[in-house]
Amino acid sequence: MRMKFLSLAALSVVALLLMSQVTSAAPSRTCSYDVNSGVPNPLGMRAYVTIAEDQGDTTVVFEQFPSPVGEGQVPTTIASSRTLTFYGMKIDRVRALMLEDSRYYTELMGYEDPEGFAPVNAVLICR
């Protein structure tokens, strides 16, 4: 009986330690365009940028919704996405860096946008 109690106590301690590690981990944050905001998306209706922070790294993703391709017999669509990852940086610092240095936004988009990241950044809502 005493051995069962000790085993149960040890198991409880291990479970508490694991739970404390899970709850003490930094929560993920995501910044994205909110369709319900009433503010127009500067990228249009078929593209968007999402910024997500996970375990101290931040990933910026540019995605375009699928579009029809050609007029052949087989229905075909094409979609594209580009990902830019900043290691060891939080969302707020990444957003500031992308505003300061247009090269990051240019690389993400695949082309040079004269307005840069500022219009997109202005409509991102973080949760």
pLDDT of res. 73: 87
Q: Which residue has the higher pLDDT, 58 or 2?
A: 58
pLDDT of res. 25: 54
**Starting from the edge strand earliest in sequence, which strands make up the sheet with 29-33, in order?**
77-86, 57-68, 47-54, 29-33, 124-126
pLDDT of res. 71: 85
pLDDT single digits (tens) 102-119: 999 999 999 999 999 999
Residue 55 has pLDDT above 90, yes or no: yes
The CA–CA distances, whole Å, from 96 to 91, 100, 104 equal: 9, 6, 11
pLDDT single digits (tens) 21-53: 444 454 599 999 999 999 999 999 999 999 999
Best CA proximity match to 28, nearest among 5, 4, 7, 56: 56
